[in-house]
Chains A and B, each alone.
Chain A
Amino acid sequence: MIRTLFTRELLGGMVTPLPWVLLGGAQIVLAWIFLQVIESFAGLDTASRQHPLTLELTLNLFGFTAVILLFAAPLIGARMLSAELRDGRFTLLASAPIGSGEIVLGKYLGLWGLLTPLCLLPALNLLLLAGATPLDAGQIAAATLGLWCSAGLFAAVSIYASTLSAQPTSATLSAFAVLLLLSIVGRAEQLIDGSLSLLGWLTWNEHLLWFLFGAVRFSDLAYFALFSAVFLALAQRRLDNRRLA
Chain B
Amino acid sequence: MDTLVRATALSRHFGRHPALADVELTLDTGQVLGLLGPNGAGKSTCLRLLAGVLAPSSGRVQILGIDLARQPRLAKRQLGYLPERPPLHPELRVNEYLRFCARLRGIPRERLASSVDAAKHRCGLDRVGHQRIDTLSKGYQQRLGIAQAIIHRPRVLILDEPTEGLDPYQIRALRALIRDLAHDCGIILSSHILPEVQAVCDRVMILHRGRVRYDGYPAADHSPHLWRIRLGAPEQGERLRAADCLDQVSALTEDRYRVVLKDGASAADLARELVTVGVDLHELQPERSDLERVFFDLTGAEESA
| Chain A contacts to B: CB under 8 angstroms | 1, 4, 8, 12, 15-16, 87-99, 243-244
Contact = CB atoms under 8 A, between A and B. Distances in A.
Contacts of B73: 97-99
B104 to A, nearest CB: 4
Contact of B54 (A1, A16, A243): A243
Contact of B52 (A15, A87, A94): A94
A16 to B, nearest CB: 7
Nearest to A89: B87
B37 interface: no
Contacts of B91: 12, 15-16
Given A4-B104, A8-B100, A243-B54, A95 B81 contact: yes
A98 B105 CA distance: 8
Contacts of A89: 87-89
A92 B87 contact: yes
B89 A12 contact: yes
A91 B77 contact: no
B104 A1 contact: yes
Nearest to A243: B55
Contacts of B87: 87-92
B83 A96 contact: no
B76 A95 contact: yes
B101 A95 contact: no
B81 A91 contact: yes
B53 interface: yes
A8 B99 CA distance: 11
Contact of B74 (A88, A97, A99, A244): A97
**Interface core residue of B74, B77, B81 (most chain A CB under 10 Å):** B81
A96 B88 contact: no
Contacts of B83: 88, 91, 95
Contact of A95 (B53, B85, B88): B53
A15 B85 CA distance: 23
Given A90-B87, A97-B77, A244-B55, 10 more contacts: A1-B104, A4-B104, A88-B85, A92-B104, A95-B76, A95-B81, A96-B104, A97-B76, A97-B105, A98-B73
B75 to A, nearest CB: 8
A89 B104 CA distance: 13
Contacts of A98: 73, 104
The 5 A-B pairs at the shortest CB distance, nearest first, are namely A92-B87, A97-B76, A88-B85, A95-B81, A96-B104
B85 to A, nearest CB: 4
A242 to B, nearest CB: 9
Interface in B277-300: none
B142 to A, nearest CB: 14
A95 B89 CA distance: 16
Nearest to A16: B91
B53 A91 contact: yes
A236 to B, nearest CB: 14
Interface string B62-77: 0000000000111011
**Interface core residue of A15, A93, A94, A99 (most chain B CB under 10 Å):** A94
A4 B105 CA distance: 11
B104 A243 contact: no
Interface string B39-57: 0000000000001111100
B53 A243 contact: yes
**Interface core residue of B53, B87, B88, B89 (most chain A CB under 10 Å):** B87
A96 B100 CA distance: 11
22 contacts: A1-B103, A1-B104, A1-B106, A4-B100, A4-B103, A4-B104, A15-B91, A87-B85, A87-B87, A88-B87, A89-B87, A89-B88, A89-B89, A90-B87, A91-B53, A91-B81, A95-B51, A96-B104, A96-B105, A97-B74, A97-B106, A244-B55
Contacts of A88: 83-85, 87
A153 B79 CA distance: 36
Interface string B89-105: 10110000000110111
B148 interface: yes
A244 B54 CA distance: 6
Contacts of B72: 97
Contacts of B92: 12
Contacts of B84: 88
